[in-house]
Amino acid sequence: MLRTGAVAATGPDAGTAAHYGSPTKEQRALEAGSAVVDLSTRAVVTVSGADRLSWLTTLSSQQVADLRPGECSELLLLDIAGRIEHAPAIIDDGETAWLITEASRGVALAQWLESMKFALRVEVSDRTDDYAVLGSTAPLPKGLPVTSPAQWTDPWPRLGPGAESYAAIDESEHPGKDWSWHLTLVPREKLNDVMTHVESHGWLLAGSLAAEALRIAAWRPRLAFDVDIKAIPHELDLIRTAVHLSKGCYKGQETIARVHNLGHPPRRLVFLHIDGSEHTLPAPGSDVLAPKDSSDRDALTQERAVGVVTSVARHHEAGPIALALVKRKVDPEAQLVVRDLEQAASEEVDAEQLPAEPSFYAAAQELIVRPDAGKTVGRPQGDFLRGPRR
């Protein structure tokens, strides 16, 4: 839904507002708990029936069998190799489990769950057409003109039961320790009434640019941006909120256990401080370069691609920031460079001229997932998925 004054978002948030004319003001208001973000393109899937929570537990990385009404969690649905396929937020109301996910994943999530029902007492429904999602850092003002069926509070970055941190810093210093994020479901037909009510209480409308900046600053991974076809939970520090390491068997569990107990994830999520001297930002998907020789960190010709930018934003205090997935063995002290080819491809050049040059941005890395994350005891040489020869 695009209200008056909205500048349309692109990419995963297309169909909602990127901003309403004042991105920095909106971001400050959102951080202060006096703004709301339209996330009405997000998908909503429900699971009802007596077996819903035990069933979701057997399918996923998370233990939700004992989820109490109103309690919030998140879970991962993995492929056989432990790669992330779905990462919905979940809240149960005592009769129905509400799953909230990215706009592009709702149909696939509902279809996959439907295919896994067998003879269990569960009913799966795609309710995206019935309910819209609103995001905020504080609960919405009281007296909403409708009743919300579910209000989810993000558990990030608090360690859940059976979880472990892969972070490189003490938990008390985690940038997300004050992160607060609420998703409120409202009947889609009453969305305009709810937004008007919120504005009447002095709240601003904020766009996705504001929400993304605060999320990135909190090191919070997002399925639509930071998860590619190879991503496993360890690389993103999602073991802390979305995986129960002691729960029973589920698809992908073997990889989860072996990487955690025997090896290291092949990549790690890093936070990047991007050089702010340019008026532009690198696009998600831009290459991350590191020097081939740590003693020669200035020559671009000596740099090699070691990762990719996954999320990027301009924070109202920190300036240009990003999340990136890089190879585990990248030197934590190395000064990185982001190479943006997308901007070059979009620039208009004369047909007789050479193609526009890529844009380069200096980037200082801050560790999120530590390079030695995982265990090394008993780890065999070479492929850690194979046991040692006898």
Give the C-alpha distances (Å, rounded to integers) separating 169 from 262, 312, 370: 22, 22, 8
Q: State whether 278 and 141 are in the same domain.
A: no
Instruction: With respect to residue 191, please indicate whether it lies within any of the assigned structural domains.
Output: yes
One domain, residues 175 and 312: no
Q: Give yes or no for a contact between 330 and 341, defined as CB atoms under 8 angstroms apart.
A: no
Please give the share of the chain, as a percent, with pLDDT higher than 90.
83
In a domain, 238, yes or no: no
Q: What is the dihedral of CA 327, 330, 333, 339, to 10 degrees?
A: -70
Q: How many domains does the chain have?
A: 2
The tokens for 82 are 């432990």
Q: Are the CB atoms for 162 and 156 separated by under 8 Å?
A: no
Question: How long a stretch of residues is the chain?
Answer: 390
Residues 35 and 93 in one domain: yes
Q: What is the reported pLDDT for 76?
A: 98
Provide the domain limits for residue 306.
Answer: 266-367
Q: What is the pLDDT of residue 224?
A: 98
| 170 within domain boundaries | yes
In this structure, the answer to whether residues 31 and 173 fall within a common structural domain is: yes
Q: Are residues 62 and 149 in the same domain?
A: yes
Tell me what pLDDT residue 374 has.
86
**CATH code of the domain in which 78 resides:** 3.30.1360.120
Strand partners, 150: none
Decide if 258 is inside a domain.
no
What's the pLDDT score for residue 41?
97
Q: Are residues 216 and 284 in the same domain?
A: no
Specify whether 290 is located in the same domain as 220.
no
Give the pLDDT score at 134: 98
- Structure confidence by residue, pLDDT tens digits, 353-382: 545 688 999 999 999 999 999 874 334 434
Same domain flag for 279 and 219: no
Q: What is the CATH classification number for the domain harbouring 341?
A: 2.40.30.110
Asked if the structure places residue 248 within a domain, the reply is: no
In a domain, 108, yes or no: yes
Strand 204-206 and strand 35-38: the pairing is parallel
> Which parts of the chain register pLDDT below 70?
1, 293-302, 343-356, 376-390
For residue 384, being part of any structural domain is answered with no
pLDDT at 349: 42
* 305 and 197, same domain (yes or no): no
* CA–CA distance, 375 with 200 (Å, rounded to integer): 53
The pLDDT score that the predictor gives to residue 385 is 40
The C-alpha atoms of residue 312 and residue 148 are separated, in whole angstroms, by 32
Q: Give the global pTM.
A: 0.91
One domain, residues 206 and 324 = no
Same-domain check for residues 361 and 278: yes
Question: Do 173 and 289 belong to one domain?
Answer: no
pLDDT one-digit tens code per residue, 272-329: 999 988 889 999 999 999 987 655 545 444 689 999 999 999 999 999 999 999 999 9
